Amino acid sequence: MRILLVEDDGLLGAAVRDSIAAEGHAVDWARRLGEAEECRAVARYNVILLDLMLPDGRGLDFLKRLRLAGETMPVIILTARDQVSDRIAGLNAGADDYLVKPFDLSELSARIGAVTRRAAGQAAPVVTFGDVTIQLAERAITRSGKALALTAREWAVLEALLGRPSGLVSKSEIEERLYDLDAEVESNTIEVYIARLRKKIGHARIVTERGLGYRLVR
Protein backbone atom coordinates (compact mmCIF):
# COMPACT_ATOMS: atom_id res chain seq x y z
CA MET A 1 0.00 0.00 0.00
CA ARG A 2 1.25 3.47 -0.87
CA ILE A 3 0.51 6.37 1.43
CA LEU A 4 0.99 10.10 1.05
CA LEU A 5 1.65 11.94 4.30
CA VAL A 6 1.11 15.70 4.22
CA GLU A 7 2.42 17.17 7.48
CA ASP A 8 4.71 20.07 8.29
CA ASP A 9 5.59 19.10 11.86
CA GLY A 10 8.95 17.33 11.72
CA LEU A 11 8.61 15.27 14.86
CA LEU A 12 5.09 14.05 14.31
CA GLY A 13 5.73 13.47 10.62
CA ALA A 14 8.75 11.31 11.28
CA ALA A 15 6.90 9.28 13.89
CA VAL A 16 3.95 8.65 11.57
CA ARG A 17 6.21 7.81 8.65
CA ASP A 18 8.20 5.31 10.68
CA SER A 19 5.16 3.70 12.20
CA ILE A 20 3.51 3.19 8.81
CA ALA A 21 6.73 2.05 7.20
CA ALA A 22 7.14 -0.49 9.99
CA GLU A 23 3.89 -2.07 8.81
CA GLY A 24 5.32 -2.52 5.35
CA HIS A 25 3.67 0.40 3.56
CA ALA A 26 5.41 2.88 1.28
CA VAL A 27 5.26 6.46 2.53
CA ASP A 28 5.91 9.72 0.70
CA TRP A 29 6.19 12.62 3.08
CA ALA A 30 5.26 16.08 1.80
CA ARG A 31 5.85 19.02 4.14
CA ARG A 32 3.89 21.55 2.14
CA LEU A 33 0.89 21.58 -0.19
CA GLY A 34 3.15 22.32 -3.14
CA GLU A 35 5.10 19.15 -2.53
CA ALA A 36 1.89 17.22 -2.05
CA GLU A 37 0.62 18.35 -5.46
CA GLU A 38 3.89 17.23 -7.03
CA CYS A 39 3.67 13.82 -5.39
CA ARG A 40 0.10 13.44 -6.52
CA ALA A 41 1.08 14.22 -10.08
CA VAL A 42 3.78 11.55 -10.03
CA ALA A 43 2.28 8.67 -8.09
CA ARG A 44 -1.05 7.14 -7.19
CA TYR A 45 -1.79 6.65 -3.51
CA ASN A 46 -4.09 4.29 -1.64
CA VAL A 47 -4.50 6.65 1.26
CA ILE A 48 -3.68 10.29 1.96
CA LEU A 49 -2.99 11.54 5.50
CA LEU A 50 -3.60 15.25 5.51
CA ASP A 51 -2.73 17.93 8.03
CA LEU A 52 -5.02 20.95 7.83
CA MET A 53 -2.64 23.75 8.85
CA LEU A 54 0.25 23.99 6.43
CA PRO A 55 2.74 26.76 5.68
CA ASP A 56 1.54 27.36 2.11
CA GLY A 57 -2.21 26.93 2.39
CA ARG A 58 -5.13 25.14 3.92
CA GLY A 59 -5.33 21.39 3.73
CA LEU A 60 -9.07 21.56 3.13
CA ASP A 61 -8.51 23.37 -0.16
CA PHE A 62 -6.15 20.63 -1.26
CA LEU A 63 -8.80 18.07 -0.37
CA LYS A 64 -11.49 19.93 -2.29
CA ARG A 65 -9.28 20.20 -5.37
CA LEU A 66 -8.65 16.48 -5.10
CA ARG A 67 -12.35 15.63 -5.05
CA LEU A 68 -13.23 18.05 -7.80
CA ALA A 69 -10.58 16.38 -9.94
CA GLY A 70 -12.51 13.17 -9.44
CA GLU A 71 -10.00 11.52 -7.12
CA THR A 72 -11.67 9.03 -4.84
CA MET A 73 -8.89 7.65 -2.69
CA PRO A 74 -9.51 7.72 1.06
CA VAL A 75 -8.28 10.80 2.90
CA ILE A 76 -7.71 10.87 6.66
CA ILE A 77 -7.35 14.28 8.23
CA LEU A 78 -4.80 14.75 11.00
CA THR A 79 -5.03 17.96 12.94
CA ALA A 80 -4.88 19.72 16.25
CA ARG A 81 -8.22 21.37 15.66
CA ASP A 82 -10.94 19.56 17.47
CA GLN A 83 -13.77 21.96 16.92
CA VAL A 84 -16.81 20.02 15.87
CA SER A 85 -17.45 22.45 13.04
CA ASP A 86 -13.96 21.77 11.69
CA ARG A 87 -14.53 18.06 11.71
CA ILE A 88 -17.83 18.45 9.90
CA ALA A 89 -16.23 20.71 7.31
CA GLY A 90 -13.51 18.12 6.78
CA LEU A 91 -15.91 15.23 6.33
CA ASN A 92 -18.17 17.25 4.08
CA ALA A 93 -15.24 18.26 1.93
CA GLY A 94 -14.84 14.58 1.20
CA ALA A 95 -12.57 13.30 3.96
CA ASP A 96 -13.11 9.73 5.06
CA ASP A 97 -11.91 10.04 8.60
CA TYR A 98 -10.55 12.46 11.12
CA LEU A 99 -7.93 12.09 13.83
CA VAL A 100 -7.34 14.72 16.46
CA LYS A 101 -3.76 15.26 17.63
CA PRO A 102 -2.33 13.90 19.73
CA PHE A 103 -3.41 10.46 18.55
CA ASP A 104 -2.13 7.00 19.16
CA LEU A 105 -0.10 5.52 16.30
CA SER A 106 -1.84 2.17 16.60
CA GLU A 107 -5.19 3.91 16.28
CA LEU A 108 -3.96 5.59 13.13
CA SER A 109 -3.08 2.24 11.63
CA ALA A 110 -6.44 0.78 12.65
CA ARG A 111 -8.17 3.67 10.90
CA ILE A 112 -6.07 3.30 7.80
CA GLY A 113 -7.21 -0.30 7.75
CA ALA A 114 -10.88 0.57 8.24
CA VAL A 115 -10.79 3.22 5.56
CA THR A 116 -9.01 1.15 2.93
CA ARG A 117 -11.23 -1.86 3.56
CA ARG A 118 -14.05 0.29 2.21
CA ALA A 119 -12.05 1.70 -0.64
CA ALA A 120 -12.38 -1.42 -2.81
CA GLY A 121 -15.67 -0.24 -4.27
CA GLN A 122 -16.10 3.48 -4.32
CA ALA A 123 -18.84 5.83 -5.24
CA ALA A 124 -17.49 9.14 -6.39
CA PRO A 125 -18.50 11.96 -4.10
CA VAL A 126 -19.31 14.06 -7.14
CA VAL A 127 -21.68 12.57 -9.69
CA THR A 128 -22.60 14.11 -13.02
CA PHE A 129 -25.67 13.26 -15.06
CA GLY A 130 -25.89 15.28 -18.21
CA ASP A 131 -26.17 18.90 -17.11
CA VAL A 132 -26.84 17.90 -13.52
CA THR A 133 -24.00 17.81 -10.99
CA ILE A 134 -24.52 16.23 -7.60
CA GLN A 135 -22.21 16.61 -4.61
CA LEU A 136 -23.49 13.88 -2.34
CA ALA A 137 -21.25 14.92 0.49
CA GLU A 138 -22.61 18.43 0.72
CA ARG A 139 -26.12 17.64 -0.43
CA ALA A 140 -25.66 20.16 -3.17
CA ILE A 141 -27.05 19.77 -6.65
CA THR A 142 -26.88 22.05 -9.66
CA ARG A 143 -28.49 21.97 -13.06
CA SER A 144 -26.53 23.74 -15.79
CA GLY A 145 -24.78 25.79 -13.13
CA LYS A 146 -27.87 26.84 -11.21
CA ALA A 147 -28.33 25.46 -7.72
CA LEU A 148 -31.41 23.33 -7.11
CA ALA A 149 -33.19 22.91 -3.80
CA LEU A 150 -34.27 19.39 -2.97
CA THR A 151 -36.37 18.44 0.04
CA ALA A 152 -35.36 15.68 2.42
CA ARG A 153 -37.59 13.10 0.73
CA GLU A 154 -36.42 14.10 -2.70
CA TRP A 155 -32.83 13.58 -1.62
CA ALA A 156 -33.70 10.22 -0.20
CA VAL A 157 -35.26 9.09 -3.47
CA LEU A 158 -32.33 10.45 -5.46
CA GLU A 159 -29.86 8.67 -3.20
CA ALA A 160 -31.77 5.44 -3.62
CA LEU A 161 -31.49 5.79 -7.39
CA LEU A 162 -27.81 6.69 -7.18
CA GLY A 163 -27.14 3.69 -4.99
CA ARG A 164 -27.32 1.61 -8.15
CA PRO A 165 -25.50 3.66 -10.75
CA SER A 166 -27.32 3.18 -14.05
CA GLY A 167 -29.08 0.24 -12.49
CA LEU A 168 -32.70 -0.49 -11.82
CA VAL A 169 -34.28 0.31 -8.47
CA SER A 170 -37.70 -1.08 -7.71
CA LYS A 171 -40.39 1.02 -6.17
CA SER A 172 -40.59 -1.21 -3.13
CA GLU A 173 -36.85 -0.86 -2.68
CA ILE A 174 -37.16 2.90 -2.58
CA GLU A 175 -40.08 2.59 -0.22
CA GLU A 176 -38.06 0.43 2.16
CA ARG A 177 -35.32 3.02 2.21
CA LEU A 178 -37.73 5.86 2.92
CA TYR A 179 -39.92 4.38 5.59
CA ASP A 180 -39.16 2.46 8.76
CA LEU A 181 -40.94 -0.65 9.96
CA ASP A 182 -43.75 1.08 11.86
CA ALA A 183 -44.76 3.67 9.32
CA GLU A 184 -46.12 1.77 6.37
CA VAL A 185 -47.43 3.84 3.53
CA GLU A 186 -50.40 2.98 1.36
CA SER A 187 -50.28 5.29 -1.59
CA ASN A 188 -48.38 6.39 -4.61
CA THR A 189 -45.94 8.56 -2.68
CA ILE A 190 -42.92 7.26 -4.55
CA GLU A 191 -44.51 8.10 -7.88
CA VAL A 192 -45.16 11.61 -6.66
CA TYR A 193 -41.54 12.10 -5.65
CA ILE A 194 -40.31 10.67 -8.89
CA ALA A 195 -42.47 13.24 -10.65
CA ARG A 196 -41.09 16.06 -8.52
CA LEU A 197 -37.51 14.96 -9.03
CA ARG A 198 -38.11 14.79 -12.76
CA LYS A 199 -39.45 18.30 -12.77
CA LYS A 200 -36.25 19.49 -11.10
CA ILE A 201 -33.51 17.46 -12.74
CA GLY A 202 -35.16 16.91 -16.11
CA HIS A 203 -37.76 14.37 -17.16
CA ALA A 204 -35.42 12.30 -19.27
CA ARG A 205 -33.04 11.66 -16.37
CA ILE A 206 -35.32 9.09 -14.79
CA VAL A 207 -36.88 6.41 -16.93
CA THR A 208 -39.71 4.17 -15.83
CA GLU A 209 -39.64 0.46 -16.51
CA ARG A 210 -43.17 -0.70 -16.00
CA GLY A 211 -43.58 -3.34 -13.38
CA LEU A 212 -39.86 -3.21 -12.55
CA GLY A 213 -38.87 0.19 -11.23
CA TYR A 214 -36.91 3.31 -12.12
CA ARG A 215 -33.52 3.89 -13.63
CA LEU A 216 -31.23 6.93 -13.67
CA VAL A 217 -29.74 7.66 -17.06
CA ARG A 218 -27.02 10.09 -17.98
| Interactions with DNA, residue window 22-81 (CB under 7 A) | 22, 24
Binding mask 159-198 for its own copies (x = CB under 8 A): xx-xxxxxxx-------xxxxxx-----------------
189 binds, among its own copies, DNA, none (CB under 5 to 8 A by kind): DNA
The candidate with the shortest Cα–Cα distance to 160, out of 146, 151, 170, is: 170
Shortest distance, position 179 Cβ to DNA, whole Å: 6
How many residues make contact with its own copies (CB under 8 A)?
Answer: 73
CB 128 within 8 A of CB 134: yes
Taking the least distance from each CB to DNA, the nearer of 120 and 183 is 183
Shortest distance, position 155 Cβ to its own copies, whole Å: 5
User: Counting contacts by CB under 8 A, is residue 148 touching its own copies?
Assistant: no
How many residues make contact with DNA (CB under 7 A)?
Answer: 29
HSE-up of residue 50 (Cα within 13 Å, Cβ side)? 31
Shortest distance, position 141 Cβ to DNA, whole Å: 13
The candidate with the shortest Cα–Cα distance to 41, out of 62, 20, 12, is: 62
Q: DSSP characters for 49-93?
A: EEESEETTEEHHHHHHHHHHTT----EEEEES---HHHHHHHHHT
Whole-angstrom distance, CA of residue 123 vs CA of residue 3: 20
In angstroms, what CA-CA distances link 153 with 42, 92, 129, 149, 185? 43, 20, 20, 12, 14
Shortest distance, position 116 Cβ to its own copies, whole Å: 8
Which 184-213 positions form the footprint of DNA (CB under 7 A)? Answer: 185-189, 191-195, 198-199, 203, 208, 210-213
Taking the least distance from each CB to DNA, the nearer of 82 and 191 is 191
Taking the least distance from each CB to its own copies, the nearer of 3 and 54 is 3
Q: Which is it for strands 47-51 and 2-6: parallel, antiparallel or unpaired?
A: parallel
Taking the least distance from each CB to its own copies, the nearer of 61 and 176 is 176
Q: Dmax of the chain from CA atoms?
A: 62
Which 124-153 positions form the footprint of DNA (CB under 7 A)? Answer: 149, 151-153
Residue type (1 letter), 204: A
Taking the least distance from each CB to its own copies, the nearer of 93 and 132 is 93
